[in-house]
């Protein structure tokens, strides 16, 4: 079984999507199974559920600790889910189980423009605190702290354009 997390919601794939199209079985956090139909294209995936038909562009990133992470951008909507991780049964996520990582960096997951910086060097932040606001694809996206820690360095300024993978800030 493949496990994952979308925001605060835990999900499991009883039968994970394999191949270009087909059916898969999803188990939600309440233990309820749902069969979905899917079709993959060049940019991502289309999913048909009991709630409707949804398209997502998927982007894969590898973090500094070598953990793959995904960002899903819902097509025709302003919804972005970032930092998604999917694990096979029995695997542990370094990102979920890890303690405070010294020297951790936050990198841009898409090109955009820094609109606001909500933290300063030396600030003590908690996991989930808003650090930056970045405008990308005509939407403002909050960049939140992935961990508790101290801000060591802020590598961007308000109004600065950044590319995918650009280092935004660093923890002590």
The gap from C-alpha 58 to its chain's centroid, in whole angstroms, comes to 10
Q: pLDDT tens digits for 92-118?
A: 444 443 445 667 888 888 888 999 999
Q: Is 149 exposed, middle or buried (0-12, 13-18, 19+ CB in 10 A)?
A: buried
Q: pLDDT tens digits for 139-172?
A: 888 888 888 888 999 999 999 999 888 889 888 8
Domains of the chain: which residue ranges?
1-92, 100-172
Reported as a pLDDT band with limits 50, 70 and 90, residue 85 is low
Separation of alpha carbons 38 and 55, rounded Å = 9
One CATH from 2.30.30.40, 3.40.190.10, 3.50.50.60, 2.40.50.100 for 100-172: 2.40.50.100
| pLDDT beyond 60 at 81 | no
* Mean pLDDT for the stretch of residues 39-53: 79
Q: What's the CATH architecture for 1-92?
A: Beta Barrel (2.40)
């Amino acid at each position: 079984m493949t496990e994952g997390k979308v925001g605060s919601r835990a999900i499991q794939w009883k039968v994970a999507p394999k191949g270009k199209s087909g059916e898969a079985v999803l188990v939600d956090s309440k233990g309820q199974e749902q069969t979905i139909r899917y079709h993959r294209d060049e940019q991502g995936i289309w999913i048909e559920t009991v709630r409707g038909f949804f398209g997502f562009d998927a982007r894969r990133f590898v973090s500094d600790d070598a953990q793959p992470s995904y960002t899903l951008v819902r097509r025709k909507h302003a919804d972005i889910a970032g930092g998604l991780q999917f694990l096979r049964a029995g695997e542990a996520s370094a990102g979920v189980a890890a303690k405070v990582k010294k020297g951790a960096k936050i990198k841009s997951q898409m090109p955009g423009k820094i609109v606001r910086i909500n933290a300063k060097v030396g600030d003590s932040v908690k996991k989930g605190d808003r650090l930056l606001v970045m405008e990308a694809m005509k939407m403002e996206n909050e960049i939140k702290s992935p961990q508790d820690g101290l801000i060591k360095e802020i590598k961007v300024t308000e109004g600065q354009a950044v590319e995918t993978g650009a280092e935004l800030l660093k923890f002590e």
